[in-house]
């Protein structure tokens, strides 16, 4: 009997992930926040439920969504970039309570390399994160919350996402006097994100932490200038970096060691 996999957050990554897992023979259930979107996806043949996670608790058809899942993939971003003051840790703690009540045995939590601070320089999974942003701090707290729970959790820290219609250079094109031109890029293509999640499931690699970032790290000023040229956009310009300035470079030991994973998509 195939595993039943739940994807909390059927968006830019969750939707193609669901399609891929269905093709591979898994039974897939998904959640979205809006009832109309859930209805639309149900009409398209997806088993989707409306579920909202707030600081007050979990609402919607969450019991039906969480019922009889073998694995839950949490793809719910913290949404803290706009300084909303949102308590992401509290939200996920409410979800965790419902996961434990539903007796979900395993979880993949999609985190971010923002848990590492720039001052840490080159990091691998062996390094303890020292986040410098509020989003990074809350993500790291959620990682610990899930990792120490009854649910056997794998933490997957993605770098900057690209692929499909998402090309980071589009947001930088033509901008001037940007900082961090000599910083290395820490990026990952959506296809590699999906493939890594599948390998974790296939190899039953739970209770682990993975940094998921392409192993090549060209400097931002070189990479984004080349990408802008490739797409016919105005290149961004950068100010000179200060002498001795440290930049974050995220590498992975565990992708090769535990999954023997090789990246398929070029930068």
Element housing 250 (H / E): strand 249-250
pTM of the model: 0.95
The Cα 24–Cα 16 span in angstroms is 12
Query: What is the tens place of the pLDDT at every residue in 76-93?
Result: 988 766 556 689 999 999
Q: Set out the domains of the chain in order of their start, with CATH numbers.
A: 4-166+187-217+248-259 (3.40.50.720)
Please name the residue that has the structure tokens 């961004």: 236
- Contacts of residue 260, defined as CB under 8 A and 6 or more positions apart, other chains included, come to none
Residue 129's closest CA among 192, 200, 209?
Answer: 209
pLDDT digits (tens, 9 = 90+) for 134-184: 999 999 999 999 999 999 999 999 999 999 989 999 999 999 999 999 999
Residue 232 gets the label, from left (phi > 0), alpha (psi -120 to 50) or beta, of left
pLDDT tens digit sequence for 113-131: 999 999 999 999 999 999 9
């Amino acid at each position: 009997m195939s595993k039943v996999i739940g994807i909390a957050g059927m968006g830019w990554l969750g939707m193609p992930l669901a399609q891929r897992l269905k093709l591979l023979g898994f039974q897939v259930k998904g959640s979205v926040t809006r009832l109309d979107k859930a209805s639309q996806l149900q009409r398209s043949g997806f088993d989707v439920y409306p579920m909202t996670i707030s600081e007050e608790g979990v609402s919607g058809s969450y019991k039906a969504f969480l019922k009889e899942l073998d694995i839950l993939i949490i793809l719910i971003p913290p949404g803290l970039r706009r300084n909303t003051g949102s308590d992401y840790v509290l939200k996920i703690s409410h979800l965790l309570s419902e996961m434990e009540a539903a007796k979900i045995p395993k979880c993949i939590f999609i985190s971010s390399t923002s848990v590492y601070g720039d001052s840490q320089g080159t990091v691998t999974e062996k390094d303890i994160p020292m986040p410098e942003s509020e989003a990074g701090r809350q993500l790291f707290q959620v990682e610990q919350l899930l990792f120490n729970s009854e649910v056997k959790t794998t933490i997957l820290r993605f770098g900057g996402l690209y692929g499909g219609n998402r090309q980071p250079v589009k947001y930088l094109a033509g901008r001037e006097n940007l900082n961090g031109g000599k910083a290395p890029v820490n990026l990952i293509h959506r296809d590699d994100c999906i493939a890594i999640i599948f390998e974790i499931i296939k190899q039953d690699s739970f209770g682990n932490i993975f940094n998921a970032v392409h192993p090549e790290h060209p400097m931002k000023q070189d990479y984004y200038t080349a990408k802008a040229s490739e797409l016919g956009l105005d290149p961004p310009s950068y100010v000179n970096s200060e002498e001795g300035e440290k930049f974050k470079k995220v590498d992975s030991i565990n992708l090769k060691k535990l999954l023997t994973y090789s990246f398929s998509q070029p930068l």
